Amino acid sequence: MLALAGEHLRETKRKYLGTFAYDGNSQLTDIFGSPERWQFDAILAYLQENNLIGDSVAVDAGANLGMLSLRFSKLYSKVFSFEPHPLTFEMLQRNLRLYAPNAEAIQRGLSSNAGKFKLGVDTDNIGNFYITNESSANRESYDVETVRLDDFFRSRTFRIGLIKIDIEGHEFELFKGATETISKDKPVILVEDGNSKSGSKSESIKLLESLGYKTFLEPALLPVRSRTPRNAVLRRGILALKCLFQDRGYGLIDCDFEDPGGYAVIVCIAG
């Protein structure tokens, strides 16, 4: 654990990332640097080793506090960080302003249509929010604006090389509003997908296949495949500790779509 603390200090160079004290993912960020620290170590290393970054920009949809936007900012010329939740957006702005000057925080959600929708937020986990029309005792709700990715980047002159998506079940709506950009630029897509499971591909994966995506990878703890379940904060922490104290590490393997709980992240590559 002392070795981890030393590594974290060397990486951050005494940076103080703004987090929420009462949020499970924020606590994992305080300890490890991000909730899926080792999974994204493996993903970004794979992209660099296979020359899949290049001269391009990144889009972070569901940027949350900016943990991954900060990492993307070191690899891409610019990062567009979309976060509709008003409180989280304030913290995102602060973190990017201090540590990622080439990243821009945008307080909108990405969807299939431009407009407004209601965002229901789990008060026990501020990163866990959904589009909703219902009220609940343990949920707050906010009115937020949406935009189509194709419309937002309509007049761009740069190539989008990466789109990371973690928007709690709204992925297919984002893809429907982004088909022109995806078809043209063929970015690497990192998507949380709770609907691909038990041998069945989600509508999002099927849409990407129709747009020319043929490679789908998942991070797994090797040498034995050990999955990282979605929304399992304690399990993610346990797997991370295994990386520290055992001779094991994450690598990318072909996604078999068999996980019964869906996927925290699938790496989607065209061609």
Straight-line distance from the first to the last Cα atom of the chain, in angstroms, rounded to the nearest whole number = 41
Mean pLDDT of 129-138: 55
pLDDT reading at 20 higher than 80: no
Give the CA count within 13 Å in the CB-facing half-sphere of 160: 29
Mean pLDDT of 39-58: 95
Burial of 82 (0-12, 13-18, 19+ CB in 10 A): buried
| Six-digit token string for 196 | 């691909």
CA atoms of 250 and 237, how far apart (whole Å): 14
Average pLDDT, the chain: 83
Mean pLDDT of 53-68: 94
Looking at residue 208, its pLDDT comes to: 98
Q: What residues have CB less than 8 Å from 197, skipping those under 6 apart?
A: 257, 258, 259, 260, 261, 262, 263
The hierarchical CATH code for the domain 2-270 is 3.40.50.150
Span 191-239, pLDDT tens digits:
999 999 999 999 999 999 999 999 999 998 876 665 555 555 555 555 5
Residue positions counted in the chain: 271
Range name among 15-19, 29-33, 60-64, 140-144 with the lowest pLDDT average: 29-33
Q: Where do the structural domains in the chain lie, given as residue ranges? A: 2-270
Span 77-108, pLDDT tens digits:
999 999 999 989 999 999 999 999 999 999 99
CA atoms of 205 and 186, how far apart (whole Å): 14
Q: What percent of the chain has pLDDT over 70?
A: 72
Do the beta carbons of residue 112 and residue 174 sit within 8 Å? yes
Q: Checking DSSP bridges between strand 213-222 and strand 160-165, what pairing results, if any?
A: unpaired
Q: Checking DSSP bridges between strand 213-222 and strand 188-193, what pairing results, if any?
A: unpaired
Mean pLDDT of 114-138: 65
Looking at residue 9, its pLDDT comes to: 46
Instruction: Render 11-54 in DSSP notation, one character per residue.
Output: HHTS------TT-HHHHHHHHHSSTTHHHHHHHHHHHHHTT---
Residues paired with residue 197 on neighbouring β-strands, in sequence order: 200
Looking at residue 178, its pLDDT comes to: 98
Which residue would you say has higher pLDDT here, 215 or 122? 215
CA atoms of 60 and 165, how far apart (whole Å): 6
Span 170-181, pLDDT tens digits:
999 999 999 999
C-alpha gyration radius of the chain: 18
Q: What residues have CB less than 8 Å from 154, skipping those under 6 apart?
A: none
152: enclosing H helix or E strand: helix 149-152
| Six-digit token string for 144 | 């937020």
pLDDT reading at 4 higher than 80: no
